[in-house]
Structure 1
Amino acid sequence: MRILLPILASAALTLSAMPAHAGSLHKDWESFKAHRAFHHLSADGQRAVTDILKARQILSAGQTDAAIPALYDAQKRLTAATTASQKFQAAENDLHAAPQHPLPSTHHAVSGQVDWLPVGGEFIASETLAPEQKAAVASANAQLKNGDTDSAAQTMKVVGQNADFILALAPIAPFQGAINRATVFTEGRHPQQAVEALDEALDSIVFVSEDFVTTLAPANATKK
């Protein structure tokens, strides 16, 4: 985020210095805000979750062999994601779960300081949005699930500041452990146990506000 601060200041100065182009600059500013939110996301982490959901769907149909490639891809991408600059360390007790995404009853909290990885994001529309803006939010969220952040940012231009962005954080070690167990169960032709392991991984995810990660991540980077 420290790299973004000069850009932020420059954009603010330009906005005040060129009032004749305020409309155009406002659109650029809104686009920048969306890209700033996406800056927190781990691309490999996002793709790993897509692989996990794909494998879960296949395993739910009892097809173990077909699920193995997706699980292998998820493992490789999670390994790559652990070196990403987007990860940060925190105790789960310090996370403030977003009210729009309460923790499931099957969630098992992790203890102590652990590494978290932003593996997904979601826009939350306010009730005051016009129907076309709510539709844009839904489209942007669908694009995010596919890992297409550029299109999502473009789609959100019609919404502006009237939507909050929340991040899905996965505790790296427990998340990886559950995926590894699911892979072992799948290789052993035990689809139901594999699905349960994948559900454990997905249930470990905590949704928090983008503002929370913005304030927490720089502090962790300084400590490291």
Structure 2
Amino acid sequence: MKKIALLPAALLMLGTAAGAAHATPSAGRAVNRDFAKLSVDGSRAFDDIAMARTALANNDTAGAVKLLTDANNALKRAKSDNKVFMKAEAQLTPPKKAPAGAPAPAAAASTKPVAWLPVDGEYIVTEDLEPSSTKATAVTSANTSLNKGQPAQAAQNLQVAAVDVDFVLAIAPLDTSASDVYRATNLLAGKDTKGADNALQEAQNSIRFVSEDMVGTPDGQKPAGHGKKAANN
């Protein structure tokens, strides 16, 4: 995932997966349902943030400036996105298993409702499985398919193996993120590249994770204890 520098590359990139999901046949409707929760503009902004940090690390100030201009515009558009939701951080439901390398909150969770923007997602196995097991391999294949813009194939991977997974959402506080990016832009204009990078890192570190369960099963079969989440999803 290029949106958050500390997370592994296995995390899904909305830019490829979500765009393809809108044109997916019914076989991928369960995957479409999950990715429909994500914000295209939010994803774009956090892609820009990650790439701007890479540009700064490579002394490409001009490239970073262009990326931050795009990120600022994307976050402005995102303020009217119907994917935005209001909730206090203390009310967020953490996933059963957080993505490896996920940044831990540095302070106590706030009880004040704020606007959150869903910017990315990944399927994570909720069962204790050996990495080489059939189910673990199915989830890996599903995430790989989504990264390639093949959500229908991803859905098939999950359904055939009847894999119990969490769809983990990466969400960003909209106003705080927009403020961090705007601050980074101004710092960069003042030639303070280190300060700009720190501001962008703060935006990345403000991301939190929440989960929604999904069970993929072959058509016509219902896993024990998960009847309402069987293949009709």
TM-score between the two structures when normalised by the length of structure 1: 0.71
1:136 to 1:198, Cα distance in 2 relative to 1, 3 A: same
Residue 176, structure 1, aligned to residue 178, structure 2: yes
1:166 to 1:50, Cα distance in 2 relative to 1, 3 A: same
The equivalent residue for 1:32 is 29
Q: Is the CA contact (8 Å cut-off) linking 1:107 and 1:203 kept in structure 2?
A: no
> How far has the Cα of 1:65 moved from its partner?
1.7
Unaligned runs of 5+ in 2: 1-24, 214-233
- Look up the SS of the partner of 1:48 in the other structure: helix
1:105 to 1:169, Cα distance in 2 relative to 1, 3 A: closer
Write the letter of the residue equivalent to 2:157.
V
The equivalent residue for 2:199 is 197
> How far has the Cα of 1:101 moved from its partner?
2.3
Residue 154, structure 1, aligned to residue 159, structure 2: no
1:61 to 1:100, Cα distance in 2 relative to 1, 3 A: farther
> How far has the Cα of 1:105 moved from its partner?
4.2
The equivalent residue for 2:123 is 123
Write the letter of the residue equivalent to 2:170.
A
1:142 to 129, 144, 147: 147
- Matched residues in 2 for 1:91 and 1:135: separation? 32
- Look up the SS of the partner of 1:159 in the other structure: helix
1:139 to 1:199, Cα distance in 2 relative to 1, 3 A: same
RMSD after superposition: 2.5
Unaligned runs of 5+ in 1: 1-27, 212-224
1:114 to 1:54, Cα distance in 2 relative to 1, 3 A: same
- Look up the SS of the partner of 2:81 in the other structure: coil
TM-score between the two structures when normalised by the length of structure 2: 0.68
From the CA coordinates, give the structure whose radius of gyration is larger: 1
- Per-residue CA deviations over 1:35-69 (Å, capped at 9, x if unaligned) read 11011111111111111111111112232222111
1:67 to 1:105, Cα distance in 2 relative to 1, 3 A: same
More helix per residue: 1
Q: Which moved more, 1:128-137 or 1:115-124?
A: 128-137
- Matched residues in 2 for 1:175 and 1:107: separation? 16
- Look up the SS of the partner of 2:98 in the other structure: coil
Write the letter of the residue equivalent to 1:207.
F
Q: Which moved more, 1:106-115 or 1:36-45?
A: 106-115
- Matched residues in 2 for 1:91 and 1:54: separation? 29
- Matched residues in 1 for 2:202 and 2:83: separation? 23
> How far has the Cα of 1:99 moved from its partner?
4.0
1:210 to 209, 212, 218: 212
Residue 86, structure 1, aligned to residue 83, structure 2: yes
- Look up the SS of the partner of 2:97 in the other structure: coil
- Matched residues in 2 for 1:95 and 1:175: separation? 18
- Matched residues in 2 for 1:173 and 1:89: separation? 12
Aligned residues: 179
- Matched residues in 2 for 1:204 and 1:113: separation? 15
- Per-residue CA deviations over 1:67-123 (Å, capped at 9, x if unaligned) read 111111111111111111111100000002224327624645445110111011111
1:165 to 1:30, Cα distance in 2 relative to 1, 3 A: farther
> How far has the Cα of 1:154 moved from its partner?
3.3
Q: Which moved more, 1:88-97 or 1:30-39?
A: 30-39
Q: Is the CA contact (8 Å cut-off) linking 1:123 and 1:141 kept in structure 2?
A: no
